[in-house]
Amino acid sequence: MKYNTKEFFEEKFKSCDGVDSWGHQWRASQLFRMRMSVDIISTVMNNYNKKYLDIGCGFGDILSNIHKLFPKIQLYGCDISENSIYYNKQQHKNIAFSVNSLPELKYKENYFDYISTFEVIHYLPLLDRIKAIRRITKLLRQNGIYIYSESSINNNEEKDIINIMSKSYKIMLVKYNYSKLYGKVENILILGKNIAEKKINNINISEKKKNIFLIKVLHLFIRVIKEILKNMFIYKLFYFVSKNMFPKISKSHVFIVGIKREE
């Protein structure tokens, strides 16, 4: 299955149980990034009757958090995955969801006050990224705000996206997440967990009794890894050291907020 295709995302969201395969809802690193994203959104939003669109909404976590803070905002979410949208429509009745994808988005132009893309643009080919940002700009009202975030981009990519955005937006904020060093450790732990889970799944039913001790050890190993990955203290310790001692090599995400210029 090819990476970043519709089929790829349908597979990612196929369970529709609200616990996605990225672990966004339980890993400390993902929960911290979620809080960081919502904090950034909170700095540019107000509680008036305005419209917010999150592109690539996944399981609707960002929108759900925004609704708690700003209940008067009209919220919209879209995703390429039909499984994702099906789940969201069942779980979040106060948010309007639709199957939609970049670079083409089937919404009215000059309609939204806020649009966000969190780790979405990088899935597109280079030329489609430019088309996507142009399309987002058309969907925003005058003085509308675009909240852009991507992971693990280098300095040249960051400069390129700021240059592209600067043509249509006044840049309000550029902020970083410093999780790259933690991410290297996290990836090793996740690999170990996945290997252990695969080992358990590969044991035949007929052999489970004679391998009961091994299975218990593997389950314990998986449980310990999950507890480490959930531990916010460990994550924040890595984050503090990374940000204050190795900031240049520790940037894992960039957040760029721009306000649409007058045409």
* CB-based burial, 198-210: b 16+ in 10 Å, e otherwise: eeeeeeeeeeeee
- Nearest to residue 22, comparing CAs of 6, 41, 38, 8? 8
Report if residue 174 sits inside a domain.
yes
Looking at the structure, do residues 73 and 128 belong to the same domain, yes or no? yes
pLDDT class for 144, splitting at 50, 70, 90? very high
pLDDT class for 211, splitting at 50, 70, 90? confident
Contact 243, 250 (CB under 8 A): yes
The sign of the CA dihedral 154, 127, 257, 46 is negative
Separation of alpha carbons 258 and 22, rounded Å: 28
**Domain assignment of residue 95, given as a range:** 6-178+248-260
pLDDT at 260: 95
pLDDT at 47: 66
pLDDT at 125: 86
The whole-chain average pLDDT of the chain stands at: 90
pLDDT at 31: 93
Looking at the structure, do residues 170 and 208 belong to the same domain, yes or no? no
Report if residue 1 sits inside a domain.
no
In DSSP notation, 177-213 reads E--HHHHHHHHHHHHHHHHHHHHHHTS-GGGTTTTHH
More confident residue, 236 or 47: 236
Looking at the structure, do residues 207 and 80 belong to the same domain, yes or no? no
Specify the range with the lowest mean pLDDT, choosing from 21-25, 186-190, 252-256: 21-25
Query: What is the rounded average pLDDT of the residues 175-190?
Result: 95
pLDDT at 157: 77
pLDDT at 152: 67
What percent of the chain has pLDDT above 70?
Answer: 93
Phi, psi of 108 (to 5 degrees): -65, 145
